[in-house]
Amino acid sequence: MKKRMFHCLVALILITPLWGHIYFWTDEEGVRHYSNVSPPEEGLVNELEETREISKTLARQQDKGPVFHVLKVYDGDTIQVSGLDLIFKVRLVGIDAPETGYRGKKNQPFSERSKAYLQSRLDKKQVRLKSYGTGGYNRQLAEVFVDNININIEMIKAGLAEVYRGKRPDSLNSRDYFKHEAIARKARLGMWRLDSAYKSPRQWRKEDAGK
Protein backbone atom coordinates (compact mmCIF):
# COMPACT_ATOMS: atom_id res chain seq x y z
CA MET A 1 0.00 0.00 0.00
CA LYS A 2 1.30 3.40 -0.94
CA LYS A 3 2.22 5.45 2.09
CA ARG A 4 0.87 8.98 2.27
CA MET A 5 3.05 11.74 3.59
CA PHE A 6 1.42 14.59 5.50
CA HIS A 7 2.62 18.09 6.27
CA CYS A 8 1.18 18.87 9.68
CA LEU A 9 0.75 21.91 11.88
CA VAL A 10 0.11 21.17 15.51
CA ALA A 11 -1.44 23.81 17.80
CA LEU A 12 -1.65 23.27 21.54
CA ILE A 13 -4.85 24.45 23.21
CA LEU A 14 -6.30 24.20 26.70
CA ILE A 15 -10.05 23.91 26.51
CA THR A 16 -13.02 22.88 28.64
CA PRO A 17 -14.03 20.10 28.99
CA LEU A 18 -11.42 18.59 26.66
CA TRP A 19 -7.71 19.10 27.22
CA GLY A 20 -4.90 18.43 24.77
CA HIS A 21 -3.83 19.18 21.23
CA ILE A 22 -5.53 20.47 18.12
CA TYR A 23 -4.02 19.04 14.95
CA PHE A 24 -4.25 20.63 11.51
CA TRP A 25 -2.86 18.94 8.44
CA THR A 26 -3.30 18.81 4.67
CA ASP A 27 -3.07 15.46 2.91
CA GLU A 28 -1.50 14.81 -0.49
CA GLU A 29 -4.82 15.51 -2.19
CA GLY A 30 -5.01 18.97 -0.66
CA VAL A 31 -7.76 18.10 1.83
CA ARG A 32 -7.61 20.04 5.11
CA HIS A 33 -8.07 17.97 8.30
CA TYR A 34 -8.74 18.90 11.94
CA SER A 35 -8.55 16.60 14.95
CA ASN A 36 -8.04 16.71 18.69
CA VAL A 37 -7.31 12.96 18.87
CA SER A 38 -4.01 12.45 17.04
CA PRO A 39 -2.08 13.58 13.98
CA PRO A 40 -1.25 11.14 11.17
CA GLU A 41 1.39 8.60 12.09
CA GLU A 42 3.78 9.74 9.39
CA GLY A 43 4.63 13.25 8.33
CA LEU A 44 6.53 16.37 9.19
CA VAL A 45 5.13 17.84 12.40
CA ASN A 46 5.73 21.38 13.59
CA GLU A 47 4.62 22.48 17.02
CA LEU A 48 3.13 25.96 17.44
CA GLU A 49 2.46 27.98 20.59
CA GLU A 50 -0.66 27.29 22.61
CA THR A 51 -3.96 28.48 21.06
CA ARG A 52 -2.49 31.14 18.79
CA GLU A 53 -2.81 29.30 15.48
CA ILE A 54 -6.47 28.38 15.88
CA SER A 55 -7.22 31.95 16.99
CA LYS A 56 -5.54 33.33 13.87
CA THR A 57 -7.37 30.81 11.68
CA LEU A 58 -10.76 31.77 13.08
CA ALA A 59 -9.98 35.48 12.82
CA ARG A 60 -9.13 35.12 9.14
CA GLN A 61 -12.08 32.90 8.25
CA GLN A 62 -15.07 34.42 10.04
CA ASP A 63 -17.20 34.66 6.87
CA LYS A 64 -16.07 31.45 5.18
CA GLY A 65 -14.43 29.34 7.86
CA PRO A 66 -15.59 26.51 10.09
CA VAL A 67 -19.20 26.34 11.25
CA PHE A 68 -19.84 25.60 14.92
CA HIS A 69 -22.88 24.25 16.72
CA VAL A 70 -23.96 25.88 19.97
CA LEU A 71 -24.26 23.25 22.69
CA LYS A 72 -24.97 25.42 25.71
CA VAL A 73 -25.51 29.01 26.80
CA TYR A 74 -24.07 29.59 30.26
CA ASP A 75 -25.09 33.24 30.62
CA GLY A 76 -25.37 36.36 28.49
CA ASP A 77 -21.75 36.33 27.38
CA THR A 78 -20.47 32.74 27.53
CA ILE A 79 -21.39 29.75 25.38
CA GLN A 80 -20.12 26.28 24.58
CA VAL A 81 -19.70 25.16 20.98
CA SER A 82 -18.64 22.09 19.05
CA GLY A 83 -16.71 21.98 15.81
CA LEU A 84 -13.36 20.89 14.36
CA ASP A 85 -13.85 17.69 16.40
CA LEU A 86 -13.71 19.80 19.57
CA ILE A 87 -15.95 21.08 22.34
CA PHE A 88 -14.87 24.38 23.92
CA LYS A 89 -16.11 27.52 25.63
CA VAL A 90 -16.38 30.90 23.95
CA ARG A 91 -16.47 34.21 25.80
CA LEU A 92 -18.26 36.81 23.68
CA VAL A 93 -15.55 39.41 23.30
CA GLY A 94 -16.18 43.09 23.95
CA ILE A 95 -19.30 42.68 26.09
CA ASP A 96 -20.16 42.07 29.73
CA ALA A 97 -23.59 40.68 30.63
CA PRO A 98 -25.30 40.74 34.03
CA GLU A 99 -23.87 38.10 36.34
CA THR A 100 -25.62 34.79 36.90
CA GLY A 101 -25.27 33.54 40.46
CA TYR A 102 -23.97 30.09 41.25
CA ARG A 103 -23.48 27.96 44.35
CA GLY A 104 -26.11 29.90 46.25
CA LYS A 105 -25.00 33.34 45.12
CA LYS A 106 -27.72 35.67 43.90
CA ASN A 107 -28.34 36.67 40.32
CA GLN A 108 -27.72 40.19 39.14
CA PRO A 109 -30.89 41.89 37.84
CA PHE A 110 -31.53 41.07 34.17
CA SER A 111 -29.06 38.18 34.16
CA GLU A 112 -31.77 35.63 33.42
CA ARG A 113 -33.25 37.80 30.66
CA SER A 114 -29.81 38.27 29.16
CA LYS A 115 -29.20 34.52 29.09
CA ALA A 116 -32.66 33.81 27.69
CA TYR A 117 -32.21 36.39 24.95
CA LEU A 118 -28.86 34.94 23.91
CA GLN A 119 -30.43 31.47 23.86
CA SER A 120 -33.22 32.74 21.61
CA ARG A 121 -30.72 34.20 19.14
CA LEU A 122 -28.62 31.03 19.03
CA ASP A 123 -31.30 28.32 19.33
CA LYS A 124 -30.81 25.69 16.62
CA LYS A 125 -28.38 27.98 14.85
CA GLN A 126 -24.98 27.39 13.32
CA VAL A 127 -22.44 30.06 14.14
CA ARG A 128 -19.12 31.29 12.86
CA LEU A 129 -16.47 32.75 15.11
CA LYS A 130 -14.05 35.62 14.70
CA SER A 131 -11.44 34.91 17.32
CA TYR A 132 -9.40 37.43 19.28
CA GLY A 133 -7.25 34.91 21.11
CA THR A 134 -7.87 33.41 24.52
CA GLY A 135 -9.01 34.94 27.79
CA GLY A 136 -9.48 33.79 31.35
CA TYR A 137 -10.19 30.10 32.00
CA ASN A 138 -8.72 29.28 28.57
CA ARG A 139 -11.86 30.42 26.77
CA GLN A 140 -11.74 31.59 23.19
CA LEU A 141 -12.53 35.30 22.96
CA ALA A 142 -14.66 35.74 19.87
CA GLU A 143 -17.33 37.64 18.03
CA VAL A 144 -20.18 35.24 17.27
CA PHE A 145 -21.97 35.52 13.95
CA VAL A 146 -25.29 34.05 12.83
CA ASP A 147 -26.06 34.73 9.15
CA ASN A 148 -23.41 37.50 9.25
CA ILE A 149 -25.16 39.19 12.20
CA ASN A 150 -22.83 40.06 15.06
CA ILE A 151 -24.54 38.56 18.11
CA ASN A 152 -22.18 40.37 20.50
CA ILE A 153 -23.50 43.70 19.25
CA GLU A 154 -27.08 42.38 19.28
CA MET A 155 -26.71 41.81 23.02
CA ILE A 156 -25.63 45.44 23.40
CA LYS A 157 -28.51 46.67 21.23
CA ALA A 158 -31.03 44.80 23.40
CA GLY A 159 -29.74 46.47 26.55
CA LEU A 160 -28.76 43.09 27.95
CA ALA A 161 -25.00 43.60 28.01
CA GLU A 162 -22.67 46.55 28.26
CA VAL A 163 -19.34 47.16 26.61
CA TYR A 164 -16.67 45.32 28.55
CA ARG A 165 -14.91 47.86 30.76
CA GLY A 166 -11.67 45.95 31.14
CA LYS A 167 -8.94 45.62 28.56
CA ARG A 168 -10.32 44.80 25.13
CA PRO A 169 -8.33 43.49 22.15
CA ASP A 170 -6.77 46.35 20.22
CA SER A 171 -8.09 44.95 16.95
CA LEU A 172 -11.71 44.93 18.16
CA ASN A 173 -13.83 47.76 16.71
CA SER A 174 -15.02 49.06 20.08
CA ARG A 175 -16.47 52.19 18.49
CA ASP A 176 -19.50 50.26 17.18
CA TYR A 177 -20.01 48.66 20.58
CA PHE A 178 -20.05 51.99 22.41
CA LYS A 179 -22.31 53.54 19.76
CA HIS A 180 -24.99 50.91 20.22
CA GLU A 181 -24.64 50.97 23.99
CA ALA A 182 -25.36 54.73 23.98
CA ILE A 183 -28.48 54.15 21.87
CA ALA A 184 -29.77 51.38 24.14
CA ARG A 185 -29.05 53.41 27.27
CA LYS A 186 -30.89 56.47 25.91
CA ALA A 187 -33.91 54.30 25.02
CA ARG A 188 -33.77 52.68 28.50
CA LEU A 189 -33.76 49.21 26.99
CA GLY A 190 -33.25 46.14 29.12
CA MET A 191 -31.05 46.70 32.13
CA TRP A 192 -30.74 50.42 31.42
CA ARG A 193 -34.25 50.96 32.80
CA LEU A 194 -32.72 50.48 36.25
CA ASP A 195 -31.33 54.02 35.97
CA SER A 196 -29.42 54.98 39.14
CA ALA A 197 -29.88 51.47 40.57
CA TYR A 198 -27.86 50.00 37.73
CA LYS A 199 -24.51 48.42 38.48
CA SER A 200 -22.10 47.24 35.83
CA PRO A 201 -21.32 43.51 35.90
CA ARG A 202 -17.75 44.45 36.75
CA GLN A 203 -18.93 46.38 39.81
CA TRP A 204 -21.37 43.61 40.76
CA ARG A 205 -18.63 41.01 40.78
CA LYS A 206 -16.66 43.11 43.22
CA GLU A 207 -19.51 44.10 45.56
CA ASP A 208 -22.51 41.79 45.42
CA ALA A 209 -21.69 38.39 43.96
CA GLY A 210 -20.98 36.86 47.36
CA LYS A 211 -24.10 38.09 49.10
Q: How many C-beta neighbours within 10 Å does residue 36 have?
A: 17
Q: How far apart are CA 177 and CA 47, in angstroms?
A: 36
DSSP the chain: -PPPP-EEEEEEEE-SS-EEEEEEEE-TT--EEEESS---SSSEEEEE-TTHHHHHHHHHTTTTS--EEEEEEEETTEEEEEETTEEEEEEETTEEPPPPP-TTPPPPTTHHHHHHHHHHHHTT-EEEEEEEEE-GGGPEEEEEEETTEEHHHHHHHTTS-EE--S---TTS-HHHHHHHHHHHHHTT-GGGGGGGG---HHHHHHHTTT-
Is residue 99 annotated as part of the catalytic site, yes or no? yes
Q: How many C-beta neighbours within 10 Å does residue 139 have?
A: 20
Of 53, 99, 143, 154, the catalytic one is 99
CB 96 within 8 A of CB 17: no
Is residue 52 annotated as part of the catalytic site, yes or no? no
Of 121, 128, 139, 185, the catalytic one is 139
Is residue 121 annotated as part of the catalytic site, yes or no? no
Active site amino acids: 91, 99, 139
